[in-house]
Structure 1
């Protein structure tokens, strides 16, 4: 790593998702705010994953409709969980497991 590369460490800007041309490193609250902004953007994108209705209620998500890299992370969190088998739908997960994962409550344990 060059001295020039080192000078960019800690100068991350949540605006535009690029390294910022700043003269000081971000403070701990600024780093947390940047992380929270990214987490909220992730959640906003993931909440757009459709939840499908079965027998009149919100019941399942199709794993194929979850964007990468979250699809792999959710699949890993599901290990050991029961999943619905719905004809013609491919790999699915229960809506409540999806909701728990979005809120950091899956995997259980």
Structure 2
């Protein structure tokens, strides 16, 4: 998790402890993998998530954040033993059969996604 993800989680934990009507479960990272996009709010009155992100909203509206969405149709990329997407870009591994390497336009990430 990057520094922005840690700051976000710290904010949620403090708000929860101070009783700001946030669900304390929101203090856990809501993303299936990666960290929420720093400063994102995609709920009512917020902004749509940028490309390669999808909106994750708590059932009680405690949070609405943009989470990484590297692969099409919500499929998961190949993960390493620690639950992080495997890097397939420069210097990374070759994707397994039936997977393709998807690379961010800015080279910020490169992951193996199902070739669907």
When the two structures are superposed, what TM-score results if normalisation uses the length of structure 1? 0.24
Report the structure, 1 or 2, having the larger helix content. Answer: 1
**Structure index of larger Rg:** 1
